[in-house]
Structure 1
């Protein structure tokens, strides 16, 4: 794989947005909680970057969906966004469409397919940009393996959502069962700790939302306001005819020519549309002056929708009835992407107003669209809208929890036609001045250009004489309690493997040091494996020319990223009940400690302590008394994926055998996993994975059983996912 770092070469950039429904045309914005502004943002960002001469290729990676309930567009593996921008859909979990909260356990598969795609391109990306927590975790893993700088944009953050839901009285247990917030927040912490740069939309987002994280380091955060495809939006011309969408609204309204209060968002509780309806329903003056138009996604049958949007829409209908708003409120069931610019223009034609009453709004893309259409705005005082109004001087901010404040702000905009025209003009000019995609792409690349020359990217050009270049497949096994534990079974395994072909390689993946592993091989007279992954994945060695053992220096160098062992040891001195282990257990990329469970803090607290000091390490606890600190790019699972990329061996041609919790990462994803019968209980949670086989036999007999299950020595059998 080409890893050319010549700064004069055009860039290859990878963007990742895992969830939602993404396609090149007619984005289903507002269809559900996962198909909102983020999906539009990543598509437009990909196109804007690809338009630049210094960019050669942009790939936007997302999830492939095969589901009769959604368009077949989402089942196409590839789609062009522009001449140099590609939408790449990758398999991840079940074929059906899933909400983001249940995708976490399938992300290993997405990571593996992302690596496979990038290898097929034949070039290491200059940058990998993850969007939202799930893609942030994916980008951290992929960038770590490739050595590419990682960029992260949270879009919305788990800690802020956690705060809001607790304020609403939702119990912590429900937060976990429904939203998996602890997993999301930890993914955000990993992304923040790995990223070379975090892109935020506003300073408020950095200072009030990112500041709540242990990995809050403002020096790595940059405000780059999202762009808008302003070519789609314009103010209405004098005497311009009503657009077609007017006919859909007209059937709801007794006086359709009155000024329009336009709200456009998903039917999501956080968008706070119900408070807007209450504000309108409780203000006879507002009802007299204007119609309310609510565009809340597309629907056929409310009863068939997901619980979140279903509950919001039901409440809206009840409020319409309670305040008797029939003839004053329009709420069409369907609209197309192309209708959106016309809706803004129609509202501007009527001297109306656009309103965004969201409880929290990281940016507010619709506010820019409205401004570019010459439509004044009323918006929440939370998040991005305050900076948009400051830049564009085109409206009023409100307290989203105060329905009276919302009503008064709407009346203020609607009451003064002279002020309305000023806001309309200022909004149009400000949107073009501050929020174009061309300007966004320029600033974006200027900010990250420095990382290209100072960031080491992995070398995937095989060197030296080795049979690895000719291998068709390879099997890895843990040592203790997998390969070893039954001497007679080990003899049977060695006899069994002696008949394997010359294109099948063997490797060991262990927490043992290299010396300990070599002593084990010598003691039991084992054939020297092709690959040794030792010290919990921090070291990779190859068997060259018989017994000569050669280290993979590129892997070692890759692990240096944010690895500061001296400073880590100093920081750990402040932790009670923690003592450095014997010198024989220490390695260049592994710091080992003995713990006193009665005095030492938990692993979570140790991680928080290190993160707050801008120190980054994986903390692995074994048997409650042994702690290993590893580089953030190190693990047995990541080492095996690195080897897959380097030697061109597909992950579905790599068999891995494990027995304990620290084998979990290498067992998941696209590898062919085998768990021997004498495994530790923490691996039982993997039983529903189609590519993880639990054997009936223990130790080496279990390895034989796993090899036969996958028919690994012949034509490999891959289970149906």
Structure 2
């Protein structure tokens, strides 16, 4: 085959990029066609072009699978395609001719590697390095780099362990996940790639710590943050025509004074995007309302009632909060927008000296922040995850606690009121994106990162791989309640957190609490508790999985049985001694009250009242002061067992920690249990004294849990001690 690029330098750097799956071409990428043709395909094409544009680089080949299929464009059957003077796509035959999902490619990767090797041998010279993208390319790239004796660079894009957690949250069974996604092969390939790669490139420090940190071969010294580039031809500062754009006219329908600065938020209508706290921050600040309009662009819809439950609830709450705070004429929430409208929205907001806000509870990267910054918009963003890197690099806004509405409002006010601050952030953002997030900047940082590898006499990873742990997934877990169990002793809590972090590759960590998601996250943030692998909230009525707090949708469907929330309230709202807790502590599947033991009837009488009104529910009293009513299929104990089944961890290898009667159903049965010392300790001794596998700790709070870890040898045998021979 003849090369389709120009003359090379006498001693060029030759980079081989490998991205096996999906449909890749140099023009009109079919982004979103399917799960395999998304952001990764755009990334590898732009990376190839950006690297080829560097004077030090003489040649870049992007290797992908050749597809001959009448159902897709003939472009994907062409063996070679030029990407510019020094870059091309090389399509390699592997497996059947037709287009198949990446999960079906595993048996054909050895053929891909052999055919790629033959191409490289025939079209020399040898590559300077091999850069693999995703787990399947990691499998291929490891072979090629080893055979040529050159460094392997790897970018995961997404990771199997994280993907599996998302799939479990979506409701897929473990066996089906394995059958459909070949997750064991994927994770094994990722482990081997991480054990071989001379350099792993990630987008954020959060990705390195929270996602790659789950792997046995996690070694951060071989990892480098090089964020992907942004299309600076599309995202540009205002040019004076924004006010006449169709999207501007659409927003004006909502606003009494469309000329006021704009507080702009763009996200999916997802609970984790935390739109409610942003509306609260705006609604509770008359000064903010006087200064600016709020514009919330939350997906596209024809009818809110046709959306899935999560999106429907988010948008319904948005409308209710607008009414609650009487924000009519000051908030815009358009029903539709096009892809090209997004850049115009940023420019429109920048032209009016507004601000872009990302209030998400969790944000792994934050692409919208980079796009907004490129258009000259100052930022106010969650202090979680990727935004720390972006604002740290660009110095163009404020990081805020996404759960603190007052702090969010104050940051917005500071940007909007002070023209000097606004100008400084706007210019810093434009310059910072060019410096850190353009494709040219990405390529230069890339070359800086790989140059030491290329200059070594033997340019391979300078250490042997770690001994691989044959255990694919965690085989044990610890679940603890929050208030008065985990909390109460900061010194032992710090030791507990450090212990959990040190063993995160061995054991899953869960928290089960009566608190709502937002309330639990506030407490965890305050005390420095990391987001657990699973967070059970609302007394077992909701289950969320790390790292992005994916809600378990099947659990929600499972517990929606004989549940009538309004009827529960009708039965209990007038009961003496019960005070309905604030909205922040309520959920779709829990009704929660402050319980006054001096006035309220005993719990058994409340049970009788609920039965008399034909409510089949679980009612639980925590520490004698809080009453929670949840569906009959929901409880902390049920939720723990649901997670155990989803993860495939035997109950006998799950340690549960509690301290009140509300935790009993977690501790009864086959789990390893610990009751930490507190003022309810004696009450539980009475009810659990004859229950097997329950340990009563001498210490309270986190120290009591650590005591139980030692008693059960949790990170070793993970079992109740047997009887001692006399």
- TM-score normalized by the length of structure 1: 0.52
Q: Which residue of 2 aligns with 1:276?
A: 275
2:297 to 294, 297, 301: 294
CA contact (8 A) 1:274 1:316 kept: no
Q: Residues 32 and 244 (structure 1 numbering): CA distance in 2 closer, same or farther, change over 3 Å?
A: farther
Aligned to 1:427: 429
1:53 aligned residue: 55
Partners in 1 of 2:272 and 2:70 — Cα distance? 30
CA separation of 1:456 and 1:438: change in aligned 2, threshold 3 A: same
**CA separation in 2, counterparts of 1:122 and 1:139?**
17
CA distance in 2 between partners of 1:436 and 1:148 (Å): 28
Aligned-pair CA distance for 1:9: 0.8
For 1:456 and 1:62, how far apart are their aligned partners in 2?
27
Structure 1 CA distance for aligned equivalents of residues 447 and 401 of structure 2: 36
What's the CA shift string for 1:204-231, capped at 9, x where partnerless?
4334433332212233223334343545
CA RMSD, 1 decimal: 5.0
Shift in alpha-carbon separation, 1:8–1:250, aligned structure 2, 3 A = same
Q: Residues 160, 259 of structure 1: CA spacing in aligned structure 2 closer, same or farther, 3 A cutoff?
A: farther
- The Cα offsets for residues 564-611 of structure 1, whole Å up to 9 and x where unpaired, read as 7xx99xx89xxxxxxxxxxxxxxxxxxxxxxxxxxxx96869xxxxxx
In structure 1, the partner of 2:64 is 62
Residue of structure 2 equivalent to 1:130: 132
Contiguous gaps of at least 5 residues in structure 1: 458-559, 573-600, 606-611, 613-721
CA-CA distance at 1:32 after TM superposition: 6.0
Q: Determine if contact 1:276/1:403 at 8 Å carries over to the other structure.
A: no
Hey, what's the Cα distance between the residues in 1 that align with 2:219 and 2:92?
Answer: 32
Q: How far apart are the structure 2 equivalents of 1:241 and 1:27?
A: 28
Partner Cα distance (2:148, 2:353) in 1 = 53
Equivalenced residue count is: 457
Shift of 1:121: 3.2
Distance in 2 between residues matched to 1:312 and 1:72, nearest whole Å: 40
Quick one: which of 349, 353, 356 aligns to 1:354?
A: 356
Q: Paired residue for 1:416?
A: 417
Query: After the TM superposition, which residues 439-478 of structure 1 pair with which residues of structure 2 at under 5 Å, given as runs?
Result: 439-454=441-456
* Contact preservation (8 Å) 2:247, 2:337: no
Mapped contact 1:162–1:181 kept (Cα < 8 A):
yes
3-state SS of the aligned residue for 1:292?
A: strand
Q: Is the 8 A contact 2:277 2:359 kept in 1?
A: no
- Partner in structure 2 of residue 437 of structure 1: 439
1:368-383 alignment to 2 at 5 Å?
Answer: 368-383=370-385
Q: C-alpha distance in 2, partners of 1:123/1:152?
A: 21
Structure 1 residue 197: deviation in Å? 1.5
Name the SS of the counterpart of 2:339 in structure 1: coil
What's the secondary structure of 1:451's corresponding residue? Answer: helix
Query: What SS class does the counterpart of residue 151 from structure 1 fall into?
Result: strand
| Residue in structure 1 matching 2:333, options 329, 335, 345 | 329
Is the Cα–Cα contact under 8 Å of residues 262 and 295 in structure 2 kept in the other structure? yes
Shift of 1:77: 4.7
Question: Counterpart of 2:211 in 1: which secondary structure?
Answer: helix
Tell whether 2:392 aligns with 1:393.
no
**Secondary structure class of the residue paired with 1:186:** helix
The question of whether the paired residues in 2 share the 8 Å contact of 1:149 and 1:455 is answered with no
Task: Report the alpha carbon displacement of residue 387 of structure 1 after superposing the two structures with TM.
Answer: 1.6
Q: Name the counterpart of 1:516.
A: none
Q: Residue in 2 aligned with 1:187?
A: 189
Higher relative contact order (CA 8 A, sep 6+): 1
CA deviation map 1:366-410 (0-9, x unaligned): 42232121112233433332021112222233556x495897478
CA contact (8 A) 2:304 2:315 kept: no
Equivalent-residue separation in structure 1 for 2:245 and 2:365 (angstroms): 29
**TM norm structure 2:** 0.51
CA shift for structure 1 position 50: 0.4
Q: Deviations over 1:240-278 (max 9, x none)?
A: 44474636855975666565555557x697xx6754368
Work out which of the residue numbers 212, 220, 223 in structure 1 matches 2:222.
Answer: 220
From 41, 44, 57, give the equivalent of 2:43. 41
Q: Residues 439-481 of structure 1, C-alpha deviation per residue, up to 9 Å, x if partnerless?
A: 4323322332343354669xxxxxxxxxxxxxxxxxxxxxxxx
CA distance in 2, matches of 1:69, 1:331: 34
> C-alpha separation between the residues in 2 aligned to 1:391 and 1:268?
28
Instruction: Give the whole-Å Cα distance in 2 for the aligned partners of 1:291 and 1:450.
Output: 49
* Whole-Å separation in 1 of the counterparts to 2:202 and 2:219: 13
2-side partners of 1:409 and 1:67: how far apart?
57
Is the Cα contact below 8 Å between 1:17 and 1:42 reproduced in 2? Answer: yes
